[in-house]
Amino acid sequence: MKILGIETSCDETAVAVLDAGENGFNVLSNVVSSQVKLHAEHGGVVPNLAAREHVKNISHVFETALKKADVGIADIDLIAVTHGPGLGPALLVGLAFARTLAMMHDKPLIGVDHMKGHIYSNWLPNTESHELTSSRAHELFPALNLIVSGGHTELVLMSDYENFTLIGETMDDAVGEAFDKVARLLGLGYPGGPAISAKAEQFTAPTFTKNKVGAPTVPSVGVGVEFPRPMLHSKNFNFSFSGLKTAVLYKIRDLKNTGVEIDDNVVNEIAHAFQEAVVDVLIQKTISAAEKHGVKSIFLSGGVSANKLLRSELQKASEKYGFVFSCPPLEYTTDNAAMIAVAGYFAFRNRPVSTSWKDAEMNANLGF
């Protein structure tokens, strides 16, 4: 079946056409119009501004997606649209557009959970690891999903394709939000995730030489930065990143008070130490939860899943402890409509839900 996916939950206007079946998915088109540069001027996403841009862009993005897929609206079997969670004004644009299409062309319409979409991005064609297909369910489930994005940090158990249980979440800042705030402290701009990662990669670890009596001297570079691993040893699988952000703030203040210039080398070191702390917590919590709940596989998804260190280290840890590991191709880590189409396929296949355009409603606070 051919599914039209529509996504407008935040600052990407996205439409995709997916050819879906029991043996996998073929992305016929996946068009995304990003507003990142526009919102960078404000240091973050402005909901009403995002909605205005969605209104301007959605018709063109829709037409481009159909053209790239070489299909017409008559060829579409199902429309899937994000109905939450997300920014209310932004969600309404995509939902109104989808409802109008469904009504005018007499197409079934299903509203889907944006976060489930991120999980299902692991089912999109993946050259980095195995493809996940319905026929492999016995190898994959139960599964544990680590969802990391600008608005969410969650550990979700998945007993099958459509049954989810939230077992851990952030108590304050989402990990992507923490990256944004620390990037702002370091003068790196928005979005913070890619900026922090790039600076961390430029960090050169301190090297020590020995004096004539064999004692180590002062390191050649580095100011000695290390940050706490919040809630690492808590008795649950929740997260907290607000205190880590504050630790960065205090470290910058203390360095300045001792006369240290916050130059590029220091920024690189702070970015490296912050990223290491975040990744350590995410990996250790995920592996602990996977072992406790006896899962077979670990999935990584969400915008922050594009982080190179997190992807590589979680894969190593998963394989070390015997779990199947999967993460989506980089093009599907950020918000896109292909993942919404996959979520729509499973919701349509597995649950007796209404497909009338009249019943599709927004739920900005939707959760597991």
Question: Is 89 a member of any domain?
Answer: yes
Share the mean pLDDT of the chain.
90
Is 214 a residue whose pLDDT tops 60? no
The DSSP bridge pattern shows strands 12-21 and 24-34 to be: antiparallel
Residues of the binding site for substrate: 147-151, 180, 193, 307
Question: Is 133 a member of any domain?
Answer: no
Do both 174 and 85 map to the same domain? no
Do both 245 and 281 map to the same domain? yes
Residue 151's SS3 state is coil
User: Which is nearest to 101 in space by CA: 42, 61, 44?
Assistant: 61
Is 19 a residue whose pLDDT tops 70? yes
Residues of the binding site for Fe cation: 114, 118, 335
Do both 174 and 215 map to the same domain? yes
User: Which is nearest to 194 in space by CA: 150, 136, 156?
Assistant: 150
Is 212 a residue whose pLDDT tops 90? no
Per-residue confidence at 129, pLDDT binned at 50, 70, 90? very low
Average pLDDT for 268-290:
97
Domain with 52 in it:
1-126+328-368
Residues of the binding site: 114, 118, 147-151, 180, 193, 307, 335
Do both 85 and 152 map to the same domain? no
How far apart are alpha carbons 258 and 261 in whole angstroms?
9
Is 78 a residue whose pLDDT tops 90? yes
Question: Is 300 a member of any domain?
Answer: yes
Do both 242 and 351 map to the same domain? no
Average pLDDT for 169-198:
95
Q: Which amino acid, residue 306?
A: A
Span 229-263, pLDDT tens digits: 999 999 999 999 999 999 999 999 999 999 999 99
Question: Is 132 a member of any domain?
Answer: no
For 80, 132, 316, 348, the CA distances from 340, given in Å and listed in that order, are: 6, 16, 28, 12
Do both 157 and 55 map to the same domain? no
Tell me how many domains the chain contains.
Answer: 2
For 193, 195, 304, the CA distances from 267, given in Å and listed in that order, are: 14, 11, 20
